[in-house]
Structure 1
Amino acid sequence: MPQNPTAANARDLTDAEFADLDELLQQTPEPLTPCDAVMLDGYLCGILVQPVLLQPDAWLPHIFDFEGEPLPDDVDVAWLERTTALIMRRHAALNRAMEEDGWFDPLVLEFDEEHQPEPIPEGQPDPMAGLHPISQSLMPWVAGFQHATICFPDLVELPDDAVMAALARLFRHLPAETDEEKEVVATLDREQPLTTLEDAIEEIVLAVADLQDLTREQRYKVETVKRDAPKVGRNDPCPCGSGKKFKHCHGA
């Protein structure tokens, strides 16, 4: 059940549009701190696999600012419309691909001699220190996914071992901070060692697909309204005691 079934809205972004979106996000007014295009891509996947169906007005603010602070009232309307339109198209395209194909192509930067991460300012910790070279390429995307789980913790709070296992396959590409996280990463390194970037990308896609399957039933669950009293017919007396038929009183 796609979250946005409109075919026109599911047309994916071109490489030029991804570059355009990245530049537009960088134009977010200060002091707000926006995602870049790669983090955005991971964030959108983290939104799509939540066990609750989230509406854009809930998750869009966290793209323009990590803390979800609102944009200023005098924001450039044309900039906002263009940026939001591209975000929504990528969201719809990811959802369509995941639902119909069980697969999607994540936006991942491959670092080589020509393309290297931005240098870390002196005195600041390097977030990629100690990471496997393959994880260094995947970390920005996975950090975006993690951003979604921090803003909307329903997924990580599910009491489901299968969900936790799928999340571990993703979060292994983030710096391990606790002894427990280090142990999980060490176990994955032994049992599922990182070999090539292509294989690692396939694995994060499969982990996201597993999460989508595991949460689908809850995400689209329809709550049934329970009535405390029998349904009143339109020609029955109104329960309010007015003496009028229900259709001429509270049922009008």
Structure 2
Amino acid sequence: MLDQSRRDQLEHILLALDDRAMVLEELDGFIAGLLVCPEPVPIGEWFAVAFGMTGGPTSVFDTIDQANRVLGLVANYYDDVALTLARQPESYRPLFPIDERNGDVSWELWMEGFAAAMDLRRGAWTKLLDVGGEVTAATAGLFMLADIARENRHELPEDEVARLTRQAPRLIPQWIVALYRHRLNKPEPVRSLADQPAPFVPGRKIGRNEPCPCGSGKKYKRCCGAN
């Protein structure tokens, strides 16, 4: 499981990257969304989203080695959250920032990360609304909180927005546990990231004039191949 020192290291690395990369609280919500998503999302796909590597001209990483170091820390964090949900669901706590001045809990940034994970498989999430019971209630609630966090609340009654905003810190962990339990009952359980191929390990020799796999947009010989 991820110890505090490695978590602090991950938080420091994320803050040092540019604004395209998620911060730790946002990444925590994103990972929770991946873990309860009705369909598996390949690591290469979601890692690119988490670090803003979806078509831009440059990468947030300087080298493949740096990308793999960050990937290793993120994979440990992912597995830590998964283990908590599987073995000690009563202990699961989303990473919500707390205002030290008044003790207010800010869940919106976490929810933005969760919503980004929902966007990856929107159709599959919509199907959960037909499951019924706590699964449908959790899904509908998370859809509404995503809209509130993204300030897309034009179709929500103001009193409902106020209620959900007030109760979100209590409701979110309950909903995540319910959806994770539902996900585990599906034929294909959530796998550890240790069992999945790393996206930055090339399966063949990279040509010097090919695009660098770190996502920088440069030729390999002008980027990681020059190191």
Pairwise same-fold verdict (TM > 0.5): yes
Match of 1:212 among 176, 180, 186: 180
When Rg is computed on C-alpha atoms for both structures, the one with the higher figure is: 1
Aligned to 1:26: 15
Q: Which structure features the higher share of helix residues?
A: 2
Give the 3-state SS of the residue equivalent to 2:118 in structure 1: helix
- Cα distance change, pair 106–93 in 1 and its aligned pair in 2 (3 A): same
CA contact (8 A) 1:12 1:90 kept: yes
Give the 3-state SS of the residue equivalent to 2:126 in structure 1: coil
Give the letter aligned to residue 118 of structure 2: T
- Cα distance change, pair 71–148 in 1 and its aligned pair in 2 (3 A): farther
Give the letter aligned to residue 212 of structure 1: Y
- Cα distance change, pair 77–106 in 1 and its aligned pair in 2 (3 A): same
The structure whose RCO (Cα within 8 Å, separation 6+) is larger is: 2
- Cα distance change, pair 73–144 in 1 and its aligned pair in 2 (3 A): closer
Matches within 5 A, 1:100-179: 100-103=87-90, 104-113=92-101, 134=105, 137-158=106-127, 159-160=129-130, 161-162=132-133, 163-170=135-142, 171-172=144-145, 174-179=149-154
- Cα distance change, pair 17–188 in 1 and its aligned pair in 2 (3 A): same
CA contact (8 A) 1:40 1:63 kept: yes
When normalised by structure 2's length, the TM-score is 0.66
Aligned to 1:246: none
- Cα distance change, pair 80–63 in 1 and its aligned pair in 2 (3 A): same
CA contact (8 A) 2:22 2:51 kept: yes
Match of 2:33 among 33, 41, 46: 46
RMSD, matched Cα? 3.2
**Structure 1, residues 178-217: CA drift from partner, whole Å, max 9, x if none?**
432x22x633755x7836xxxx534211111112223334
- Cα distance change, pair 168–61 in 1 and its aligned pair in 2 (3 A): same
Aligned to 1:76: 63
CA contact (8 A) 1:43 1:147 kept: yes
For structure 1, list consecutive stretches of 5 or more residues without a partner in the other structure: 1-10, 116-132, 222-252
Aligned to 2:2: 12
Give the 3-state SS of the residue equivalent to 2:89 in structure 1: coil
When normalised by structure 1's length, the TM-score is 0.60
Instruction: Give the Cα separation in 2 of the matches to 1:66 and 1:207.
Output: 30
CA contact (8 A) 2:31 2:117 kept: yes
CA contact (8 A) 1:142 1:174 kept: yes
Instruction: Give the Cα separation in 2 of the matches to 1:101 and 1:93.
Output: 11
Structure 1 residue 52: Cα displacement = 1.3
